[in-house]
Chain A
Amino acid sequence: MKITRNEVEHVANLAKLNLSEEELARMTGQLDTILSYVAKLDELDTKDVVPTTHAFSINNAFREDEMQESIPRDKALQNAPKDNGESFVVPKII
């Protein structure tokens, strides 16, 4: 087994996903199949290989620090699931 049911539960918790018993069982099986397959990468010795995160190197893209128009508040709030006309409203945090 590459991954256990407990580990899937832990990862789901990290990712803020609730999985039903059925989903947990199914996902564990599917993730195990996928992770067993990707273990194929262990065939390769990559001790001295530099990782690639982007296909070619891009330097930091700087721009002048100038004032620009931003989206007006009403537009920013237009997709809010809940708002009070000024802010996004979410359940109490503390």
Chain B
Amino acid sequence: MKPFELTIAQARAELDSGKLSSRELTVSCLDRIKSVDNDIHSFLSVTEEEALRQADVADKQIASGGTEALCGIPFSMKDLLCTKGVTTTCGSKILENFVPPYDATVVEKLKNKGAVILGKVAMDEFAMGSTSENCAFDVPENPWKPGYVSGGSSGGSASSVAAMECLGSLGSDTGGSIRQPASLCGVVGMKPTYGRVSRYGLVAFASSLDQIGPLTRDVRDSAMMMNGIAGYDKRDSTSVQESLPDFTASLAEGLQGMKVGIPKEYFGDGLDAEVAKVVENGIQILRDAGAETIEVSLPHTEYCVAVYYLISSAEASSNLARYDGAVYGYRDQDAESLIDMYRETRSKGFGDEVKRRILIGTYALSSGYYDAYYKKASQVRTLILNDFQKAYESCDLVISPVTPTPAWRRGVHADDPLALYLSDILTISANLAGIPGMSVPGGFSADGLPIGIQLQGPHFREDTLFKAAYNLELGTQLANKCPDIA
């Protein structure tokens, strides 16, 4: 087994026993990036020198008895997490040359624990998209099948983990952007409860929905990364002061007494037969492990896409007002007046999808339409939240597909944004309700494309999801699987 093929937990054991150094592990990942990333295009930037420097520091810490679980482990970061001194583009031309003067809290936390950061990975511009094709730079491939999308918006995070270019990655999830690419690329993706992880230094898209979380090659690694990034941060006033469990503690617990809800609305028309079969198999695995299953109803599921695209676009139109060319980012230098500078900068700096969402959001918030669109959507959001609260009175978590289909060919939805929005129907509700959601590899299509299984739990019950996910993984035997790419 080559070092880059190790899971985080396996690498930890090798590093601690002295069989492997962080430098060797980091070099192994960097070599892997060199050999496969010309085809996969996960990385927008690789910070080799800095990574090796961090690895050497980690090796000293380990030699002197350091006990941090992520010390010496190489990761990739979605390119919307601010990294001090390293370009952070958010997949947009408007931030093409932006070099943050500070680290995002999650980046700082990982660095303080001795983690190694290999570089920044591709994403849809401003995290708006479901395929990463809206990236203004390189578009990542699905490592399992050339020409197929890696998903989005954290497509580069998912492809870098699936192609074994790093041992884990941090992504962000506003409507499924961690879970969906994780599902399409056959890795584990966790979107924590809203407020569980600080978003200080995350380039904002929709502030009432955005959440940072890990993408990894197995469930234990996901829990280990959560231990590294979760917790209250005074610099993010939406982060919450909840007690923090050891997220790895629940993995070994059995499922006796667990009630798993099956939401009938998630198995409706348009669900691919192969996806349905994989999820049914997952349900059986949980039953065999001791869980009880019951049917539950989330009756407002069919409204979640409409609610999401109004609320997220409204918030985005406000968040993205800051990109005016005045203090950072791209500026059109030819504009003669201030207003022209704003207009030219924004028109040249933003891509198509970002403009579309700014227009929808501005419209939904504009005088005369606010009540009909933004307020209405916020009211239906309450109904969606109530659905989950009611469901969790009778079950501990719900199981479902992550996406209605496996990955599709690149370019398929280029002229039909609504069709692409509709593919997010199964992941959006978790963000609207603020609950944790997870994607775990469940199987493969006949074409060899990965299919994930989604678990969603009550607020702050990531531990329940990890426990169920770990049992699923034992049943599917799909931990740490890599496509044959090199």
Chain A residues packing against B (C-beta within 8 Å): 3, 7-8, 11-12, 14-19, 23, 27, 30-31, 33-35, 37-38, 40-42, 44, 46, 49-56, 58, 60-61, 63, 71, 75-76, 78-82, 88, 90-93
Contacts and interface: CB of A to CB of B under 8 A. Distances in A.
Contacts, number: 161
Given A55-B433, A91-B341, 12 more contacts: A14-B362, A14-B366, A16-B339, A17-B346, A23-B355, A37-B306, A44-B383, A51-B382, A56-B195, A81-B327, A81-B328, A92-B338
B210 to A, nearest CB: 12
A75 B433 CA distance: 38
Interface in B319-339: 321, 324-331, 333, 335-339
A56 B418 CA distance: 29
Interface residues of B, number: 71
Contact of A44 (B240, B378, B380): B380
B185 interface: no
Contacts of B330: 81
A29 B328 CA distance: 33
B359 A17 contact: yes
Main secondary structure of the interface of B (DSSP, over half): helix
Contacts of A49: 379-380, 382-383
27 contacts: A8-B359, A11-B366, A15-B359, A16-B324, A16-B342, A17-B355, A17-B359, A18-B347, A27-B359, A31-B363, A34-B417, A34-B418, A37-B306, A40-B302, A41-B376, A41-B380, A46-B380, A49-B382, A50-B379, A51-B378, A52-B379, A54-B194, A55-B432, A58-B238, A61-B237, A80-B327, A91-B335
Contact of A41 (B98, B303, B324, B433): B303
A18 B352 CA distance: 12
Contacts of B346: 15-17
A51 to B, nearest CB: 3
B240 A90 contact: no
